[in-house]
Amino acid sequence: MHGKVAIHGHGIAAYCCARLLSQDGFEVACLGTPKSAGPTLLINQSTQALLNDVFGAEQNLFSDLPVIHKRIVLWGNETEPKILPHFGVVVNETALLERLRPSYTSFSEQADWFVHSTLNAAAGTEQHFGTRTANAAPVQLKTADNDACWVESLESGWLFLLPNGAHEGSLLAVGGPVRALLDESRLVAQQIEDVGGPETEFTAHPRILDPLCGPGWLACGSGAMSFDPICGEGSGNAVREAILASAVIRLPGDGLGHYTSRLLAGFLRHLEICTHFYVSARRSDWWDSEIAALERGIEWTRHRLSSLPQSNYRLVDFSLVPC
């Protein structure tokens, strides 16, 4: 045995860490209670490939799930929707986690490492870059044709409609309540027969823990940061963080600097891409204030990155190796 790792949380990042560390001989315990309900996720191709790699899946973990083949997008000043190919699968988060849940051990002794994959306020201070929230609601769709998802920017927010069954879907409204934003919609509203309830509200602006790690502990997944859903990158980023966290724990040397700089670089790229999408959709004060917060985030993250020394490691496969 290499040591003991206590992982706080039961999300994608937690289970990826548990998988990678336990197969390398660590004793791993996932602490806390699994969530009983989760959102509907669209898992893109690169995240599917990463999860299949991490879980050594001989058969594709996702082959039996419904596939989204196109994205229909009406964004910014476009007058007609764009139809783009897509190869994502639709899965409820809870059902996905059932597939990934590790058969881990538990232990009562002190752990050598702690991985916080849920927010641990004692570990650091959260930086928030924006105020927007998202409201998710189940919806009834007008048609049973369910291989397309829909994205639309509005005067005071944006909508994302993801079918998850015949005549059924999940609607995400960022910037306001579902019905209020649907009133502004020209594209998504046309696909919806009825809105169910209740709405679930959650944070949709980027946030990050500062610091991201310290001696004997690492923040990972939603314990480290959360992304704006506009990028469709939250799950993939959680897997990447878990791969890196596991590599740092396995490393005989000190990989905390590399961990911080890679996570900050990923967060910076997310902020840049978000800003690009938000600027291209800017139509009201709502967009302007969120763009200003994103720009503040870019400055903050660049400043943090500039104070870090150059990393002496590179991630090769699942391990950190000296440059």
Partner 1 sequence: MRRTGRIRVATIDSGVNPSHPHVAPIAGGVRITANAVDDYYTDFLGHGTAVAGAIREKAPSVDIYAVKVFDRALATTGTILLRALDWCLDSGMDFVNLSLGTLNSSYLQAFQERILRARELHCTIVAAYEIDGQPALPGCIAGVIGVVLADKCPRDRYMRHRKKGRIVYSASGYPRDIPGVPPEYNLQGISFAVANVTGFLAAEAASPCTGK
> How many whole angstroms separate alpha carbon 172 and alpha carbon 176?
10
Interface ranges with partner 1 (CB under 8 A): 42, 44, 46-47, 49-50, 71, 73, 75, 82, 84-88, 149, 151, 153, 158, 160, 229-233, 235-236, 240, 243-244, 262, 265-266, 269, 272-277, 279, 314-317
Select 21 or 72, whichever has its Cβ closest to partner 1. 72
Q: Give one DSSP letter per residue of 8-41, joined into a string.
A: E--SHHHHHHHHHHHTTT-EEEEES---S---EE
| Shortest Å distance, C-beta 183 to partner 1 | 21
83: left (phi over 0), alpha (psi -120 to 50) or beta: beta
Select 119 or 161, whichever has its Cβ closest to partner 1. 161
Select 124 or 221, whichever has its Cβ closest to partner 1. 221
| Shortest Å distance, C-beta 270 to partner 1 | 9
Q: Contact, 7 vs 30, CB < 8 A?
A: yes
> How many whole angstroms separate alpha carbon 107 and alpha carbon 112?
12
Select 6 or 43, whichever has its Cβ closest to partner 1. 43
| Shortest Å distance, C-beta 128 to partner 1 | 19
Strand order across the beta sheet in which 4-8 lies = 27-31, 4-8, 113-116, 217-219, 213-214
> How many whole angstroms separate alpha carbon 173 and alpha carbon 96?
23
Select 223 or 232, whichever has its Cβ closest to partner 1. 232
Among residues 167, 162, 166, 165, the alpha carbon closest in space to that of 137 is found at 162
| Shortest Å distance, C-beta 169 to partner 1 | 14
Select 31 or 57, whichever has its Cβ closest to partner 1. 57
Question: Cα Rg for the chain, rounded, in angstroms?
Answer: 20
| Shortest Å distance, C-beta 115 to partner 1 | 18
| Shortest Å distance, C-beta 53 to partner 1 | 8
Three-state DSSP state, 287: helix
